[in-house]
Amino acid sequence: MKNSKSCSSVGTLYNLSAIRMTEYNVSKFLNSTKISRCVSVAFPITMMITGMVGNSLALLLVYRSYRNKADKRKRSFLLCIGSLALTDLSGQLLTSPIVISVYWADLEWERIDPSGGLCAFFGVCMTMFGLCPLFLASSMAIERTLAITCPLWYANHMKTSITKSALALISCLVLLFALLPIAGVGKYELQWPGTWCFIDTGDRDTLGNVFFSTTFAVLGIFSLLVTVFCNAITIRFLLTRCRTKPGSSQTAKQWEKLTMETVIQLMGIMCVLVICWSPLLILMLKMILTQRSSHLCKTNVVPSSCGQDPKVDCNFFLTAIRMASLNQILDPWVYLLLREILLRKFCQMATAVSNFSKEGHKEPAGTLDALNKPAIDNDITEKQ
């Protein structure tokens, strides 16, 4: 009897252990399935390739136009665009290969960075190449506002040397800010799903971490507000100037077309910046206030619904950082390439429809064909 009871108990324990092992394997399989659905190496590879192509084309166009410029007043705008494209390209080249390497290492950051130094480098790059494009966009918005609203002052005071100094100052200040965690103020932490490092928003024990993370979010929001404000002033000035010009002269018609083109471009710039950056910056402020951070999400214990957790929505934070990185891809198209390829054709069609509705006939072909010139070589002069 004792032997039979002991055998039955052993069999029961064996069955329980087998059931638990099966449940563990199923849970592990489901977790890995959730990870594969939420994160994929296709995202960083696609973003790296598209970012490299777009920013490389923008750099080539800017370099060609800058060398052919006889008017020095046009070089400030080109320097700003070139700096933006170079910054976005550098950010892609320095961060995307690391992310792809982590994916190839089965999402185990420690395999490629046992010392933790690469995580700090990645965090510096994310901060540096995150704030720089925002500040450069603000600088371009200010430059464009001065060039259009105050053309005489702009022509007399805006020198190429001043633009170069301002761009260098922005890069140096942002780099110094990004290096603060290396100096002990703030902290960079590995973020979910373990493929990238960024500012830790939930650690209040590290010296200056709340100050560092809050300053990053506030500076980003401030630069967005400056860009939107300056572009709104420029759009208002252009529309007011367009209404005051007589509508019968050839110059007035050309001004109307250029006004429509510039307004559409500025609206596109504002929409891209706000859509790409607002989710990340607002979510960072929310996570700072609630003392949460996405590094609490572990790849080996994936919360339900692809990284959703009652404390922090890990998957949404990953989506927000991808949207911010998407801005690096869209920048050259919004500022330069889209203007060259599509924007003028769209404005021609819109102007023709507008004139047809007002005057009862279409715009003469010669007037519309005047806008087929490349926009890079006469951008600021046409706006003035």
Query: Which of 50-59, 64-73, 219-228 is predicted with the least confidence, judged by mean pLDDT?
Result: 64-73
Averaged over 228-250, what is the pLDDT? 78
**pLDDT for the residue 342:** 52
Query: Which of 65-79, 170-184, 303-317, 319-333 is predicted with the least confidence, judged by mean pLDDT?
Result: 303-317
Question: Measured at the alpha carbon of residue 125, what is the angle toward residues 123 and 131, in degrees to the nearest 5?
Answer: 100
CA pair distance 65, 58, nearest whole angstrom: 11
CATH of domain 41-298+309-350: 1.20.1070.10
CA pair distance 75, 60, nearest whole angstrom: 15
**pLDDT for the residue 86:** 93
List the alpha helices (DSSP H) in the chain: 2-38, 42-68, 75-104, 109-112, 117-149, 151-157, 160-178, 209-244, 250-289, 304-307, 314-332, 338, 344-359, 365-369, 379-383
Mean pLDDT of the chain: 75
Q: Cβ neighbours of residue 278 under 8 Å, at least 6 residues apart?
A: 224
CA pair distance 24, 18, nearest whole angstrom: 10
For the cut 60, the answer to whether the pLDDT of residue 9 exceeds it is: no
**Exposure of 238 in the CB half-sphere (CA atoms within 13 A):** 28
> Using CA atoms in the order 355, 359, 365, 369, what is the torsion angle rounded to 10 degrees?
-30
Exposure string over 345-362, b if 16+ CB within 10 A, otherwise e = eebbeebbeebeeeeeee
Query: Which of 17-26, 235-244, 320-329, 348-357 is predicted with the least confidence, judged by mean pLDDT?
Result: 17-26
User: pLDDT digits over 219-229, tens only?
Assistant: 999 999 999 99
First and final C-alpha spacing in the chain: 103
Confidence of residue 306 (pLDDT cuts 50, 70, 90): very low
Beta-bridge partners for 196: 191
**pLDDT for the residue 383:** 39
User: pLDDT digits over 164-215, tens only?
Assistant: 999 999 999 999 999 999 998 999 999 888 889 999 888 788 888 899 999 9
Give the start-to-end residue ranges of the domains of the chain.
Answer: 41-298+309-350
Quick check: helix, strand or coil at residue 316? helix
Q: Please give the C-alpha separations between residue 358 and each of 67, 247, 302, 351, 363, in angstroms, as whole numbers.
A: 42, 11, 60, 10, 11
